Structures are given as structure tokens and as C-alpha cells.
């Protein structure tokens, strides 16, 4: 016997997030249906289209129906013999189209706003909209051309997927539109105290502090840079650190750059930029040296950079005790022959000196470093012990840390007795001398020296300095003496005394053991001429260990 299956019951609309439109029904108890036949016909289209659904699946979804269109669905149960039950029919208006131009913005901490436009014309049969968050859905009435809704009470610093669907009058739903964002904050707060800590010829070194607010959302930082007057830019991400910093390399020298710092939240999005502008620096100084030492001073000289000097504004000189922590700095204006004097230093102490060129921003990372000991304290109790027509014996007391001494002397003509201020102690830059002399390098225990072979009747100036570590020279101590008259046989023809201007380089040179030197301006007979050489600074000096 053949039985006709029982018909379906409760044919109605169903919804799915993946499928925009469908119908569902209930199977009759004890039905012998092997499958269901689902047919539909859209308004304005006479064609009736059918598909078969298995008996265990009492629903049907159709994706490609026109939006906002009346569709009549007919469902019947079919037996294995092909017998069909009575049709169950319903006419439904299909769902509206999806919303357009969905955007979001941060309203306040814990709240995100959504804005959207209605569906396209012809697909805008909207009764209302439904907004979905992770655990909730919200009904939004369809009013106006520009629609919005604020989702509140969100957990801070979490990924959020907010969705919206347009709904028809019969409850049909469009495909969802999604917005991915971070709850509570579009991005964390702004960085604080941003600065360019150092510049280099081709680099900038950036430092900043974390935001004062909303830093719980902070994932990393963004650093972007470009030439201020250029168009090309580059960006890098900087991981979180207690003291955040980032170094930019490969930049053009003497060029202004614009740097943008931003905090990135969970979604790595930001709208909290902080901008800096900074010039890169000139090139490094060349030929730096300590030209002269004193008991409490160092006299520095250098030359300007060989390259990138067009943007040079001034120099920076910094110094500290090599084994200390406190440092000091000074700026030095541009000169043809740049130099700088450091005063007020400790005697017998090693100092580290850093020279740098400064560009427009007066920041730098092109340092050149020197180390140098200051000299001992000056010798004390310098006195003349014995004078005759051709020699003078002087003695002194040794300061602490002196390792050897230098003795220099020179004759000066018809000036009478010069005071200490006229001699310029310890700086003899302005002293006018015509010279004959020797420099003696002696052991610390030898604190006297006899200068011999002098010209009777002449006034002589004798200079004694202590030499410390690495022959660092102390300040000078000076005595003057007039020799009694007497006959002295001269070998060379006399010339008038010249008056060379002694420069600041009175750092008495270490000439070696038992070396005599002679100035080209001397009018005296050479003494031990086989050891003579040109001293080059207006004094003739003798050294012996």
C-alpha cells in the first residue's frame, strides 16, 4: 500500500549570520517523506524554481534573491514513490541590503560610537537596525540618512568586533557589516616628554616617556620620520621599555627632519601623534690635541671638520675627571683656529675631554674624546743660590707627584728688572725675550740646577716647572737675575736682540736626554754646539734625567 506523506507545518522565515534569507518548517510526526520539495517565485518573475532538501533538514536558505522583493515559498513533503503532500506556502519580503560606510570613533573611555549610511536605493526597505557586540545586541530605529549608535560599558583594551545588520518589517536580516576596533580607546594616550637627546652627522637619537593616561592599552610605539621639506617618509615600531628610545640612522647631514611619535594600542591604530623637528649635526672636529697643560688647566686646540661644516654653528667642550662622575660643558664660538682653555681643575689628575661640533639645534653625537693629566702644583721656594759672571745656580722645593723638572732660561735686553705681572706669570704670551738657554729634565730628588755658559752683565729670566704623569707640566715659577759684568769671548758676530712674541705654547717639550737647542734669533756663541737644535718657541732648553 502506498501512503501520501503528511504536509509540513509552521512554515516561516529563518535567519542566519552567514545567509541573508531563508525559510524553516516543522515535520509532521510519523511522516513517510523521503525529502522536501522547496519552490519559490519572485515578484515580477513568472519562473517557478524548485530545489530538493533531504528529510532530515527542515530549512532552506537562498542567497541570491533580490533585496526588498516579495517572494512566495512553497514546501511539500515527498515520499519514496514520488507522492507529494499538500503544499504549504508563504509570501515574504526579502531582507534589505547591508548598511554602507560603517565607521567608528572613540566617545570616551569604555564607549565606542558607530556611524553608517542606509543601504543602497532599492535595497532600503529597512524597518530597523540591529547592532551586535560580543555579548549583546541593540535595536536601533531607522531614522534619517545618517545613522549612529554608541556602544557603552565595554571592557578596556580588548579587541572588539562590532556588527550591524539592517532588518525588514518581517524580521528578515541583511548580511552583517563588521567593524574591528579596540574597546575603550582608539589608542592609548600620547607619549610624554619627547625629545631629541642627541644628534649626529647622519643620526638622531630620540627619547620619550610613556603616556600619563590610558597606558593599559599600550602595546608598542610608532616612530615615523621624513625630511621636513621632503615627501618620502619611513616608519618603525618600537617595543615597550621602561625608558623608551629609538635611534634613526642613515639620515642626511645638516638637514631638518620631522619626527612623529605615537602610541599603538591593541589594534596598532593611533590618532595621538606627537611631532618634533630637528637638524642633523655637522662632521667631527679634526686634529684635536691638548696643546699645553698647567697645574689647574688644560689648553685645547683643534681644527674644523673636513666635511659637513656648512651647518656648523659652534663647538661644545665637555670635561670630567676620568674616574669621576660630575661633568661640565661649555660652548666655544667659531674661530679660524679654534681653541678652548679649561681652568679650575685639580692638579695631578687625569681628565677626559669631549669635543663636538654643534649644528642648528646645538645637539650632537659626533664626539671626539681626549684624556690628559694636569700638571703637578708649581715648584715652591724658587731662589737663586749662586751667581757669577757666567753661571747661575737655582734651587726649589718639589711639589707632590712631580716626577721630573724642566728649567728654561733666556736673556732679555735693557729692560731693567721686570715684575711678575710684566712677565705674565704663568702665561708668558706677552713677554718679549731674546733667548739663550737650556731645558733640564731631572729626577724628583734633584731640586737644584746650575745654568752655565751665560753672558756676563746680561739680565736672565729662569723658568722652572714640575713635570708629572706623561710629562704634564705645572704652572711656571720664574726668577730674574742680572749677572755681574766681565769679559766674554764671542765666536759669532753679534746681532741686535729680536723680540719674538711668545705664544701660549709654553708646554716645555721633552727633547730627550742631554739635548741642547738654539733659537734662530740668538746672537750668542753656541755652547756644546754639537747638541744644538732649534727650539722654535723663543726659549732654548736643556733636559737631563
For domain 377-545, which architecture applies?
Sandwich (2.60)
Provide the pLDDT for residue 527: 29
The CATH number given to 286-373 is: 2.60.40.10
Burial 101-133 (b: 16+ CB within 10 A, else e): ebebebeeeeebbbebebbeeebbbbeebbbbb
Per-position pLDDT tens, the chain of length 545: 667 888 888 888 886 655 667 888 888 776 788 889 999 898 888 788 898 988 888 888 887 888 898 999 999 988 888 888 888 898 888 889 999 999 987 776 677 889 999 999 989 899 899 998 877 778 888 666 668 888 887 776 667 788 999 988 888 888 899 988 766 555 577 888 999 888 777 888 999 988 876 666 778 889 999 999 888 899 998 988 888 999 999 988 778 899 999 888 765 655 568 888 888 777 788 899 999 999 999 999 998 887 656 678 888 999 999 999 999 999 988 888 899 999 999 999 999 999 988 877 665 556 889 999 999 999 999 999 999 999 999 999 999 889 888 888 888 654 444 444 444 333 333 332 223 233 334 334 478 888 888 989 889 999 999 999 988 999 999 999 998 987 534 333 333 333 333 333 333 333 222 222 222 222 332 322 222 222 333 344 443 33
Asked if CATH classification 2.60.40.420 holds for the domain at 192-279, the reply, yes or no, is no
pLDDT at 435 (0 to 100)? 30
Residue 523: which of 486, 488, 481 has the closest Cα? 488
What distance in Å separates the CA atoms of residue 293 and residue 467, rounded to the nearest whole number?
A: 10
* Domain range summary for the chain, segments of one domain joined by +: 9-93, 100-182, 192-279, 286-373, 377-545
DSSP-derived 3-state class of residue 383: strand
Residue-level pLDDT at 136: 79
Answer whether 167's CB lies under 8 Å from 97's CB: no
* The pLDDT value given to residue 517: 27
Two domains, one topology: 9-93 and 286-373: yes
Peptide bond into 426 cis (omega under 30): yes
Predicted TM-score (pTM) of this structure: 0.47
**pLDDT reported for residue 138:** 81
What are the grid coordinates assigned to 390, written together? 757666567
SS3 content of the chain, % helix, strand, coil (to 5): 0, 45, 55
CA–CA distance, 192 with 212 (Å, rounded to integer): 7
pLDDT for position 225: 94
Whether 446 and 381 have beta carbons less than 8 Å apart is answered as no
189-211 b/e (C-beta count within 10 Å ≥ 16 → b)? bbbeebebebbbbbbbbbbbebb
Domain 100-182 has CATH 3.30.530.20: no
**Side-chain half-sphere of 19: how many Cα atoms within 13 Å?**
14
- Give yes or no for a contact between 451 and 410, defined as CB atoms under 8 angstroms apart: no
Name residues whose C-beta falls within 8 Å of residue 460's C-beta, 6 or more positions apart in sequence.
392, 409, 410, 411, 412, 451, 454, 480, 481, 482, 483
| Neighbouring C-beta atoms of residue 172, cutoff 10 Å | 25
Q: What is the dihedral of CA 490, 491, 495, 500, to 10 degrees?
A: -90
**The predicted structure's pLDDT at residue 396:** 92
pLDDT at residue 207, as a whole number: 93
CATH of domain 9-93: 2.60.40.10
Amino acid at each position: 500500500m502506498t501512503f501520501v506523506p503528511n504536509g509540513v507545518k509552521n512554515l516561516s522565515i529563518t535567519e542566519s549570520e552567514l545567509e541573508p534569507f531563508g525559510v524553516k518548517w516543522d515535520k509532521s510526526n510519523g511522516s513517510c517523506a523521503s525529502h522536501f520539495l522547496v519552490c519559490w517565485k519572485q515578484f515580477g518573475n513568472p519562473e517557478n524554481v524548485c530545489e530538493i532538501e533531504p528529510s532530515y533538514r527542515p530549512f532552506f536558505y537562498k542567497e541570491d534573491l533580490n533585496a526588498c522583493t516579495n517572494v512566495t515559498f512553497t514546501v511539500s513533503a515527498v515520499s519514496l514513490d514520488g507522492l507529494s503532500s499538500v503544499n504549504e506556502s508563504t509570501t515574504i519580503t526579502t531582507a534589505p541590503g547591508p548598511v554602507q560606510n560603517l565607521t567608528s570613533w572613540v566617545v570616551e573611555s569604555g564607549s565606542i560610537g558607530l556611524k553608517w549610511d542606509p543601504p543602497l536605493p532599492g535595497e532600503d526597505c529597512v524597518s530597523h537596525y540591529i547592532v551586535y557586540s560580543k555579548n549583546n545586541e541593540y535595536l536601533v530605529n531607522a531614522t534619517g540618512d545618517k545613522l549612529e549608535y554608541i556602544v557603552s560599558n565595554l571592557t578596556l583594551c580588548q579587541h572588539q568586533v562590532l556588527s550591524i545588520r539592517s532588518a525588514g518589517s518581517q524580521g528578515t536580516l541583511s548580511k552583517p557589516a563588521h567593524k574591528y576596533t579596540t574597546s575603550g580607546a582608539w589608542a592609548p594616550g600620547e607619549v610624554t616628554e619627547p625629545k631629541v637627546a642627541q644628534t649626529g652627522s647622519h643620526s638622531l637619537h630620540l627619547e620619550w616617556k610613556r603616556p600619563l593616561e590610558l597606558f593599559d592599552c599600550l602595546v608598542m610605539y610608532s616612530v615615523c620620520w621624513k625630511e621636513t621639506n621632503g615627501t618620502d617618509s619611513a616608519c618603525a615600531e618600537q617595543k615597550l621599555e621602561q625608558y623608551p628610545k629609538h635611534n634613526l640612522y642613515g639620515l642626511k647631514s645638516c638637514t631638518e627632519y620631522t619626527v612623529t611619535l605615537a602610541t599603538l594600542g591593541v589594534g596598532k591604530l593611533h590618532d595621538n601623534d606627537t611631532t618634533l623637528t630637528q637638524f642633523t649635526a655637522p662632521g667631527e672636529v679634526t686634529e684635536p690635541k691638548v696643546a699645553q697643560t698647567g697645574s689647574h688647566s688644560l689648553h685645547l686646540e683643534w681644527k674644523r671638520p673636513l666635511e659637513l661644516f656648512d651647518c656648523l654653528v659652534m663647538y661644545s667642550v665637555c670635561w670630567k675627571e676620568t674616574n669621576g662622575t660630575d661633568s661640565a660643558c661649555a660652548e666655544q664660538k667659531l674661530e679660524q683656529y679654534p681653541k678652548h682653555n679649561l681652568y679650575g681643575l685639580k692638579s695631578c689628575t687625569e681628565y677626559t675631554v669631549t669635543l663636538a661640533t654643534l649644528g642648528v639645534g646645538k645637539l650632537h653625537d659626533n664626539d671626539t674624546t681626549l684624556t690628559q693629566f694636569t700638571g703637578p702644583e708649581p715648584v715652591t721656594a724658587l731662589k737663586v743660590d749662586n751667581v757669577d759672571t757666567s753661571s747661575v745656580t737655582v734651587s726649589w722645593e718639589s711639589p707632590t707627584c712631580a716626577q721630573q723638572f724642566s728649567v728654561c732660561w733666556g736673556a732679555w735686553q735693557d729692560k731693567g728688572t721686570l715684575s711678575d705681572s710684566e712677565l705674565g706669570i704663568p702665561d708668558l704670551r706677552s713677554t718679549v725675550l731674546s733667548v739663550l738657554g737650556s731645558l733640564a729634565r731631572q729626577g724628583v730628588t734633584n731640586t737644584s740646577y746650575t745654568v752655565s755658559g751665560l753672558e756676563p752683565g746680561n739680565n736672565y729670566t729662569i723658568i722652572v716647572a714640575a713635570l708629572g704623569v706623561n710629562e704634564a707640566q705645572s704652572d711656571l715659577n720664574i726668577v730674574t737675575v742680572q749677572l755681574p759684568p766681565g769679559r766674554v769671548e764671542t765666536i759669532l758676530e753679534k746681532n741686535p736682540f729680536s723680540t719674538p712674541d711668545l705664544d701660549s705654547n709654553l708646554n716645555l717639550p721633552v727633547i730627550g736626554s742631554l739635548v741642547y737647542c738654539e733659537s734662530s734669533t740668538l746672537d750668542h756663541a753656541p755652547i756644546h754646539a754639537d747638541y744644538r737644535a732649534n727650539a722654535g718657541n723663543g726659549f732654548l732648553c736643556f733636559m737631563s734625567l
